[in-house]
Amino acid sequence: MNYIERLIPMRLASLKAIGRITARAEALLASATGAGRPESRKRVAEVRAGRSFGWRCFRHGWIALPILICRFAPQCAAAEAAPLPQPAATATNVAEADADVAWKKLQKALRPPTPPESWRTNSPTLEERNAFNKRNGELAAQVADLAGEFYTRFPDHPKAPEARQRELEMRKTAVQLGNASQIARLNELEGARAKDPQTQPEDAFLLRWRSIERQAAASGPAGSPAFLDAVQKGVFALRKEFPERLEVYELMLQLLEIRSQEGEADKARALAQVLIESSIREEAKEGVRRLIRKFDFLGKPFQLKFTAVDGREVDLAKMRGKVVLIDFWASWCGPCLAEIPRIKAAYGKLQAKGFEIIGINLDEDKADMQRVLTSAKITWPQCFDGQKWEGPLATRFGIMGIPALWLVDKRGVLRELSGEPNLVEKVERLLEEKTDSL
C-alpha cells in the first residue's frame, strides 16, 4: 500500500492528500492544461477569453491551475510613455503618478498569455513541460520582485497590502514550480506574516506548516526516510509553537499511522508518547495505544493458533523451520487485493524452499472472503471471525490498517511488520539465515 500519498494533507485532518505539495509541476501541468484530452480545446478557448490559467491559490496552499503564464516583456516599461510633468505639480502628485504607473506595470505582468499554439493539437513532451514550468517559475519570481518593489517604494499606497499578498503568492508559486532560489525569501515572508499580530492564529499555523512541508521536500523524495524524519521533526516543533491547536495532534496521529504501517518502532513510540500525554480524547489515546501494540511482538517468539475455515488446524509453533507470512486482509480492501498477485508469485517461487502463508481475514461476511479465495485460487489457510476490526486477533495484535504483512522467521520470531515492498527479497533473506537449533 502506498502511504506516500497520505503524508502531506491538503486539509490538516485528511490523510488522503499527502504528497501533493511535492508533486512534480509537469504532472500538475498536464492536469491543468488538459493537453491531449478532449476538453483541451474548450480550455484553450477559455484561455483566449481570459478566463483560465490565472493564479488559482486555494486557502490551504494548493494551486488547482499551477501555471501562471505571465508575459514579462523587457520592452513593456519602455512602451509606457511617462506622463509629461505639469508646471504646478507637487511632490505628492508626482509620487501618486509614479505609483499608478508602477501598479499598472505589476497588473500587466500578471496577465496570463495564451499557451503555446502547438499544444492545442499535440500533447507537450516531458521536456517541453519541464522547460515551460521552469520558465514560469522564473517569471513568477519576477512578478514577486515587482510586487515587493511596489510596496517598498509606496508603503502608504492603498494598493500596498495587495502588493504584499501578491508577492507572497508569487514566491509560493515560484517554489512550487521548482524555483528553489525563492525558498529563503518565501520562508522569510511567511515567517513575518505568521508573527504579525494581525494574522489570524489559523493562518499563522498554516503558514508555519507550509514552511515545514518545504523543508521536508528539500530533505528527500516524498516518503523517503529523510522526508519522513523532517516531517516528524517539524511536527514536534509545531507542538511547541502552537501547543493549544488540535491540528498538531491530528498531524501526529496521521504520521503515527504511517510510522506504524512501515514498522518504525522507535519513531512511532516517540509520537505515541506525546499523544498519550496530550489533551486529546481518551478514545483517541486508546487508538494510539492500539497502534503501537504491534511493536510489543516485534523481535519476540510469536504465538498463533486457530482452526482455519477449511478445518485445518494452524499452529505457528509447529511451523518452526519455515518462514511464515501472516497476511491481514479483507475483500473490501482494494490495496489488499492488489497485493494478492505479488504474494502468490512469492509463494509460487519460494514455497518449496520453506515459505508458508497464513491469512487473517477481516471481512464481516464469510461469503465475501470465500469469493476472493475462489477467484484468486488462494490455497493457504484462513482465519475468519466475522468481527472485522474488533476480532480477537485484530485487537490482540493492534491491527488498525490493512494490508498488514508480517514475517516470522524460522525460529518463530516476528521479524517484519511490513512485508511490502520487496517481499521476495525479504523472505529469501530469512530463508538463508542459519539457525543452530529450532
Is this model's pTM higher than 0.75 or not?
no
Say how far apart CA 330 and CA 399 lie, in whole Å: 12
Across the chain, mean pLDDT equals 77
Average pLDDT over residues 170-178: 85
User: Does position 145 have pLDDT exceeding 90, yes or no?
Assistant: yes
- Return the pLDDT at 12: 29
User: Does position 68 have pLDDT exceeding 80, yes or no?
Assistant: no
Say how far apart CA 113 and CA 47 lie, in whole Å: 8
3-class state of residue 366 by DSSP = helix
Place of cell 522569510: 188
User: Does position 377 have pLDDT exceeding 90, yes or no?
Assistant: yes
Contact 321, 289 (CB under 8 A): no
Question: In this structure, what C-alpha cell is assigned to residue 105?
Answer: 506595470
Average pLDDT over residues 306-318: 94
Average pLDDT over residues 365-394: 94
Average pLDDT over residues 408-428: 91
Q: How confident is the model at residue 146 (pLDDT cuts 50, 70, 90)?
A: very high
- Return the pLDDT at 438: 52
- Return the pLDDT at 202: 82
Q: How confident is the model at residue 14 (pLDDT cuts 50, 70, 90)?
A: very low
- Return the pLDDT at 129: 84
Q: If you ran DSSP here, which 8-state letter would residue 70 be given?
A: -
Omega before 421 cis (within 30°)? yes
Average pLDDT over residues 224-244: 90
Say how far apart CA 431 and CA 353 lie, in whole Å: 8
Instruction: Give me the amino acid identity at 227.
Output: F
- Return the pLDDT at 324: 96
Contact 312, 381 (CB under 8 A): yes
- Return the pLDDT at 320: 93
- Return the pLDDT at 70: 28
3-class state of residue 8 by DSSP = coil
Average pLDDT over residues 287-316: 92
Secondary structure (H, E, C), 213-240: HHHHHHHCCCCCHHHHHHHHHHHHHHHH
User: Does position 347 have pLDDT exceeding 90, yes or no?
Assistant: yes
Residue 391: CB partners within 8 Å, gap ≥ 6?
362, 385
- Return the pLDDT at 429: 94
Higher-confidence residue of 382 and 199: namely: 382
Contact 398, 291 (CB under 8 A): yes
- Return the pLDDT at 363: 95
- Return the pLDDT at 92: 59
Residues above pLDDT 90, as percent of the chain:
39
Average pLDDT over residues 241-247: 86
- Return the pLDDT at 54: 30
Average pLDDT over residues 131-135: 87
- Return the pLDDT at 362: 95
Which string of DSSP letters, residue by residue, matches 307-362?
E-TTS-EEEGGGGTTSEEEEEEE-TT-HHHHHHHHHHHHHHHHHGGGTEEEEEEE-
For the segment 258-273, what is each residue's pLDDT rounded down to a tens digit?
888 888 889 999 999 9
Q: Which residues pair with 314 in a beta bridge?
A: 306
Instruction: Give me the amino acid identity at 123.
Output: S
For the segment 80-123, what is each residue's pLDDT rounded down to a tens digit?
333 434 444 455 566 678 888 999 999 888 876 567 888 888 88
Residue 137: CB partners within 8 Å, gap ≥ 6?
25, 173, 174, 175, 177, 178, 179, 182
- Return the pLDDT at 351: 94
Higher-confidence residue of 374 and 61: namely: 374
Average pLDDT over residues 291-310: 92
Q: If you ran DSSP here, which 8-state letter would residue 383 be given?
A: E
Q: How confident is the model at residue 430 (pLDDT cuts 50, 70, 90)?
A: very high
CATH class of residue range 305-432? alpha beta
Instruction: Give me the amino acid identity at 187.
Output: N
Question: In this structure, what C-alpha cell is assigned to residue 211?
Answer: 514552511
* Candidate from 173-182, 332-341, 392-401 with smallest mean pLDDT: 173-182
DSSP H or E segment with residue 248: helix 246-261
Contact 177, 137 (CB under 8 A): yes
For the segment 178-219, what is each residue's pLDDT rounded down to a tens digit?
888 888 888 888 888 878 887 788 888 888 888 888 888 888
Domain ranges, ordered by start, for the chain = 20-85+92-178, 305-432
Higher-confidence residue of 17 and 229: namely: 229
Say how far apart CA 270 and CA 265 lie, in whole Å: 9
- Return the pLDDT at 177: 83
- Return the pLDDT at 113: 55
Helix axes 201-219, 225-241, angle to 10 degrees: 160
